[in-house]
Amino acid sequence: MEQAAARETREEACAKINIAGLYGIYNIPHVNQVYMIFRGPLADGAFAPGVESLETALYEEADIPWSEIAFPVVNNVLKRYFRDRQHGDFATFVDTVEPKRT
């Protein structure tokens, strides 16, 4: 799984990462998908848009353009990460993401 996560990161963000471990698993039943989220720092600080990304960027927490995030699961995991970072506890979790209501 870690190799798949590293490969996906290279494909989508042209970035090399050092996997620190599994962070969480998201069940997304309305699209019949399961996401496995891993944590880890950039290996060399380099990143760029890949073939599946229009844009990549790094943000401080206060500067994240929350309304521009396309996928609810990304919004959810970022908020969880920042909350966990405050406590220094990154326990592995399992969660379900429901569809956005319009």
Q: Reply yes or no on whether the pLDDT at 63 is more than 70.
A: yes
Domain-located, residue 102? no
For residue 40, being part of any structural domain is answered with yes
CATH code of the domain covering residue 70: 3.90.79.10
Name the residue type at position 17.
Answer: I
Please indicate, yes or no, if residue 34 is contained in any of the structural domains: yes
Residue 52 in any domain: the answer is yes
- Amino acid letter at 2? E
Q: Is the pLDDT of residue 9 over 90?
A: yes
Q: Is residue 45 part of a domain?
A: yes
CB atoms inside a 10 Å sphere around CB 77: 20
In a domain, 37, yes or no: yes
Number of separate domains in the chain = 1
Backbone angles phi, psi at 22, to 5 degrees: -70, 130
Q: What is the pTM of this model?
A: 0.86
| Structural domain span for residue 78 | 2-96
Q: Is 49 part of any domain?
A: yes
Q: Quick one: how far is CA 46 from the chain centroid?
A: 17
Q: Which ranges constitute the DSSP H helices of the chain?
A: 2-13, 72-87
Q: How far is the C-alpha of 38 from the C-alpha of 24, rounded, in Å?
A: 7
Report residue 6: phi and psi, to 5°. -65, -40
User: Is 101 contained in some domain?
Assistant: no
The DSSP letter of residue 43 is S
What is the structure's pLDDT at 102?
66
What is the model's pLDDT at position 101?
75
